[in-house]
A and B are shown apart, each in its own frame.
Chain A
Amino acid sequence: MIDFRFNGQELILWIGKDTPKEILLHDVDNRLKNMSTFFSDEEGLSLLFEGGMDQSSLILPVLDLLERKNIKVRTIHFTKPERQLNRQISAELKKTGDSEPESEEQAVIERKLKLFQTTVRSGQVFEYDGDALIIGSINKGAQVTVTGNLIVIGEIKGNVRVGLYDPEEAFILATSMHPNIMQIGNTFSTSISSDELALCKMKNGRLTLEPITENYSYNN
């Protein structure tokens, strides 16, 4: 299974997990048919292998194929976007009618939240693939990119970008937010501002801010 995605900066060819090599190459070949002139010399595309390094045996054949098609590869990413994987597995289970609760439970992969005790300072770039909890502030001029969700016990004043894979479900939670730009997926806002604990997420294609009060209940 393959798909094309755009993260705002680059075009990514997403390669799903557990796709047999022959089917994968056939799919790539089909999808890229007549597309060699679409990419300029500088552009090209990036590859995203879901399932991490387990997929490494597929890299060389895919690179060979793209080279034959004169398509330049910019970066190769490996990741495990668990939520998408869950959805995909759930959908497949439904399709086959094998929707026993145990199977769905087995499909749930634990999302790991990583803790960072740091102040991200002006001019510094912080990037993390997954969910991040930052204890410290994101100062003006800093740039933070997190592919999952972001929780900040501190102040956000710099540029923040989250939810690269799953923008609809991604959120930013912080004790105060005055960022220059806040971006979830490809949607951004320059007017997010809050002096109290608040949650920023996507709603109807726009970024919204919800103050977290005592009686707050999370409605997705």
Chain B
Amino acid sequence: MNNRQVIVITSGKGGVGKTTITANLGAAFANLGKKVCLIDGDLGLKNLDVVLGLENRILYTIMDVVSGRVGASEALVRHKTNRNLYLLPASQIATKEMMTVEDMTKVVTRIKPDFDYIIIDSPAGIESGFRNAVAAADTAVLVTNPEFTAVSDADRVLGLLENTHLGLDNVFFILNKVKESMNEKRGMMKTEEVMKTLSIPMIGMVPDSDEVFIGSNRGVPIAFEPSHDMNKIFTNITRRIMGHNIPVEEDFKLARTTVWKLFLKLFRS
């Protein structure tokens, strides 16, 4: 049992890549031989099943577990290729208000002994869905983009997390959709600027890549492809969460090579 077992992925702003990061981190943990459960906390706007390619395998949802209709083990969907990865899907017809903080805590407590890691995909916003997702977690990973609006919303979420049981010692951030030009062009938000504003540890930098999008659309997260550079980035992030000391500069280098590879690919085609 470790002290970073239940991780909530949150952001404040929508569209920054929470669900994609959740799916890829889950895949990266599973690749390392860890038994992982991903919980879709976005009731009413579920997407995690689509990103994982599991939408056709859902029989029961987290709402069925909450209402006591089925046990948690019956609602869990096992991934078709990686057998270490499970999904507890959200219901599309439920609303966020139909679940309480106690419900989420109960569900997480029930499945906790069966998994090495549980990752909760929080909905955008700072309302009840966010509060439910955060309540059961012992670690929060904030996803943000190098945009003023996303960083400002992330800062707002940090202010709220500071006053929860998590405090700021258990909160980290991932800078997603990083562009090669952001540190050179004027008017773009620089990495240092984001780090200075949020003033919490950064545990990863994920480049803006078409292949991540394609992976999400196909239902096969990029972290499932062992040879891809993006896979290494997600593996590095999971290792940092597990407590390994891997400098984030490694992601910088990988991010740079990945973006250059894409550029060269475009140039050649």
Contacts and interface: CB of A to CB of B under 8 A. Distances in A.
Interface of A: 119, 121-124, 136-137, 139-142, 155
Contacts of A124: 159
A122 B199 contact: no
Contacts of B159: 121-124, 142
Nearest to A123: B156
17 contacts: A119-B199, A121-B155, A121-B162, A122-B155, A122-B159, A123-B156, A123-B159, A123-B160, A137-B196, A137-B197, A139-B155, A139-B197, A140-B155, A141-B152, A141-B155, A142-B159, A155-B196
Interface residues of B, number: 11
Contacts of B158: 121
A139 B158 CA distance: 12
B147 to A, nearest CB: 13
Interface in B116-164: 152-153, 155-156, 158-160, 162
B186 to A, nearest CB: 14
Contacts of A136: 199
A155 B197 CA distance: 9
A141 B149 CA distance: 11
Most buried by B among A137, A139, A140: A139
Contact of B199 (A123, A137, A141, A142): A137
A122 B156 contact: yes
Q: Which of the listed residues B155, B158, B196 has the most CB atoms from chain A within 10 Å of its own CB?
A: B155
Contacts of A155: 196
A116 B259 CA distance: 42
Contacts of B196: 137, 155
A140 B156 CA distance: 9
A155 B162 CA distance: 20
A177 to B, nearest CB: 15
A139 B75 CA distance: 43
The list of the 5 closest CB pairs from A to B, nearest first, reads A121-B159, A122-B156, A122-B155, A124-B159, A123-B156
Contacts of A139: 152, 155, 197
Contacts of A121: 155-156, 158-159, 162
